[in-house]
Chain A
């Protein structure tokens, strides 16, 4: 046995399986890695690759139906077999952990200070005053503004980024030797994400912790980690220095992930280069095979800047009444989308981009301003006119799980809009459904299946088919790839580009992800607090950002130091 003397955590042949109906499902398969003291190790992979299961295994936080084999060596103990009493002294004290969802990871009925002090009281057997003082000190350490007052607030009174800071304060309360961060920034806005990652790294240096970082984001890995393990189906495919990830990654799956993920610095565009797609298959013996595919480039005509616009928005205001005060979610916004153009709209949560898309779709009434679709004023359109407009303007939603009715087959979901828009002939409806199913790349028998039988990416294809079945001229895509893995994201983005060619579509593409918007759009608008702060071609916006907020977004997307860029 070669014991690595400097390793703080040494995981050997970890195998985790879950008891499921009729057998076992293996989530992690003979995984080995070790983390040197004070270093950052990243586990990277897509959903279902076993990275989160690995993170939870270290502290044995897995559900009861999990079976864990192998060794997890930490501080001379094997955590895999340690009795629960002894393990509890490690949890939260020698190993801290933070989770993906800051919104739900804090107990909603207890005050922040108490939640932090709780673990200190239990582990260190101090007085309540001492624990509270330590909690305050920790809140200062994680740079939570106004910490004295914040000790006594409830989680719902804090923003997502602030809650994640509280989570970090809780995790480092015992000066742990290891911090496990399970997708710590996935649920946060790009600018907040960069700040949190910076904080974690700062604390690593200050407290001399090692970090086990779980992430799907290759950019985060290359910027913040020392070493990286690429995972798929619970196995270690490749172990690399994080700095070499983009250049030295040899495994076809790693290459595929790199090809599929878009970085702002890359300067690639859908008109010139489709994204490479990973094809994973299993041969007869059950071995995985990975292949890379580059689809053909769609032939798109250049945008005729003199053609009449498909959509024109003039001085649009949408406001909500919030307990008597008017809240302007969209504040005096104007935009134009021309035939065949993709207008990208980028902004962080709460900037008003979803309200804008709903107002354009006429799902939310406009307070003032004008909407012109194909030159026709649709701001106050009602009845039949509105219905025929809906056939020409469709929407693709973010959540491929919640936006399809689970009680209808895919065929039924696609049939309803056709019937509603007066296509009485059954054979014609069936032909059109078959055609659109084929166009979005789903197998023909999908028509008879229910949404839950499909993966996230396939469901998003169903959502796209539903939007396209009425042959609209404008499609509003509201965060269509945010809930998807990178390899699926590249497939959907390629599909959107191909469909644009086949159906002569114009898109309004809304996303919080600057890199994706930049790739798929011809023109980009940046939105902040209900207003457009900047507009430009996809190149200009990146090369010559004029507004400081745009520069902040770019810096955050590059994983750089946000504070410096903003200054």
Chain B
């Protein structure tokens, strides 16, 4: 029972801490975007090629863009209170709807990439720390340095060249086969085939980060007294490595991993562009180009909540991993 109460306490604390954070983020985002030059009307006017000053003024009036900043902010906050993200000036669709269309694919991409990165990264890191200073450690260190320093758009392009162009195994872009009328399991497999390359190119950088993190954390734990105790008990190296070293190293690893999840959203923008995946990242990119501030605000708000939720999850994971948390 104490486990459940600890989890509930952690959740309550995280929620309470999230409220002021969220308010700060909203206000800050709003002010920052107001400072950027140009607005949606400028872009729409430029794209139409023939707009009068009067027509532009009328459009600004309609979108509420010529009101004082403070008024715009309070109107925005008021709408948020009613759970309304507003309407896109560019697409003419409610922003919530727009995001809801794009969100699942991006989430799936990130979950895949994160899962791949965590599993491969921790495994590589464990191998590196077990053979620290030897050949396999050196080779893997160089590899992880490579993955760490290569930009993911380039990795994406190279993966396309290899797996789509040369080998023809996987599609080079898009989100699903068109006109095949697939349903059920077949549709799922088809969609997954389109996500493999994007997820891999997004994951590689994080594989490198997690591998290095795991290596460092495990080497530190390896020097602890209780590892010597485990060895003195006559346990085989695998048990010592997994039960005693890795298990304790997971605590710092999850902390760092949680902090990197937010950055992954940024990486998703680039990867979605390279693989022409219609996801949240692409939407954000289009919103920036179109100066569609309302859409951008919606996406930023969502990403902030995403990071807050991830942090809460990491906290939760910590109460599970570290019995000392939640006692005091």
Write the residues of chain A forming the contact surface with B, with a CB cutoff of 8 angstroms.
59, 61, 88-93, 96-97, 99, 101, 104-110, 118-119, 122-123, 154, 156, 167, 170-171, 323
Contacts and interface: CB of A to CB of B under 8 A. Distances in A.
A92 B234 contact: yes
Given A108-B323, A109-B322, A88 B225 contact: no
Give me the 10 closest cross-chain CB pairs, A-B, nearest first. A91-B234, A92-B233, A92-B234, A119-B233, A104-B225, A107-B226, A154-B323, A97-B232, A88-B234, A105-B225
Nearest to B229: A105
Interface in B79-106: none
Contacts of A323: 328
A170 B323 contact: no
Nearest to B322: A109
Contact of B234 (A93, A109, A156): A93
A90 to B, nearest CB: 7
Range of interface residues on B (Cβ < 8 Å): 20 to 34
B234 A170 contact: no
A99 B328 CA distance: 28
A92 B232 contact: yes
A255 to B, nearest CB: 34
A104 B223 CA distance: 11
Contacts of A97: 232
Nearest to B328: A323
Nearest to B133: A64
B278 to A, nearest CB: 43
B327 interface: yes
Contacts of A59: 231-232
A289 to B, nearest CB: 36
Nearest to B236: A88
Contact of B225 (A92, A99, A119): A99
B229 A122 contact: no
Given A61-B231, A118-B235, A156 B226 contact: no
Contacts of B244: 107
B231 A170 contact: no
A89 B231 CA distance: 11
Contacts of A93: 234
Contact of A154 (B229, B247, B324, B328): B324
B247 A109 contact: yes
A235 B194 CA distance: 70
B231 A106 contact: no
B225 A101 contact: yes
Contact of B324 (A119, A156, A167): A156
A154 B236 CA distance: 23
B231 A91 contact: yes
B313 interface: no
Contact of A118 (B228, B233, B248, B328): B233
A172 to B, nearest CB: 12
Contact of A167 (B229, B239, B248): B229
B96 to A, nearest CB: 42
B235 A122 contact: yes
A281 to B, nearest CB: 35
A135 B309 CA distance: 41
Interface string B211-243: 000000000000011101111111110010001
A99 B228 contact: yes
Interface in B283-328: 321-324, 327-328
Contacts of B228: 61, 99, 105
A59 B229 CA distance: 11
A263 B235 CA distance: 41
18 contacts: A61-B228, A88-B235, A91-B232, A93-B234, A104-B225, A105-B225, A105-B226, A105-B229, A107-B230, A108-B324, A109-B248, A109-B321, A110-B243, A118-B243, A122-B234, A154-B323, A156-B327, A167-B229
Contact of A170 (B225, B233, B328): B233
Contacts, number: 77
Interface of B: 224-226, 228-236, 239, 243-244, 247-248, 251, 321-324, 327-328
B144 to A, nearest CB: 23
B132 to A, nearest CB: 9
Contacts of A104: 224-226
Contact of B236 (A61, A105, A122): A122
Contacts of B233: 91-92, 118-119, 122, 170
A107 B323 contact: no
A186 to B, nearest CB: 13
A61 to B, nearest CB: 6
Contacts of A106: 226, 229
A552 to B, nearest CB: 29
A159 to B, nearest CB: 15
Nearest to A122: B235
A501 B228 CA distance: 48
Contacts of A167: 229
Nearest to A96: B232
Nearest to B221: A107
Contacts of A171: 232
Contacts of A156: 323-324, 327
A245 to B, nearest CB: 28
A107 B229 contact: yes
Contacts of A91: 231-234
Contacts of A96: 232
Contacts of B323: 108-109, 154, 156
A384 B234 CA distance: 62
Nearest to A106: B226
A118 B247 CA distance: 15
Given A91-B233, A105-B229, A118-B239, 15 more contacts: A88-B235, A88-B236, A90-B234, A92-B232, A92-B234, A99-B225, A99-B232, A105-B225, A105-B228, A106-B229, A107-B248, A108-B322, A118-B235, A154-B323, A323-B328
Nearest to A156: B324
The interface centre, meaning the residue of B230, B232, B323 with most chain A CB atoms within 10 A of its CB, is B232
A258 to B, nearest CB: 31
A110 B86 CA distance: 51
Contacts of A154: 323-324
A248 B194 CA distance: 85
A420 B135 CA distance: 55
A96 B231 CA distance: 11
A61 B232 contact: yes
B10 to A, nearest CB: 17
A72 to B, nearest CB: 15
Contacts of A122: 233-236, 239
Contacts of B243: 110, 118
A119 B226 contact: no
B166 to A, nearest CB: 44
A96 B239 CA distance: 18
B244 to A, nearest CB: 6
A549 B328 CA distance: 31
B136 to A, nearest CB: 16
Contacts of A118: 233, 235, 239, 243
Nearest to B324: A156
Contacts of B231: 59, 61, 91
Contacts of B229: 99, 105-107, 167, 170
Contacts of B239: 118, 122
B147 to A, nearest CB: 28
Contacts of B236: 88, 122
A105 B233 CA distance: 12
Given A107-B248, A108-B248, A108-B324, A92 B235 contact: yes
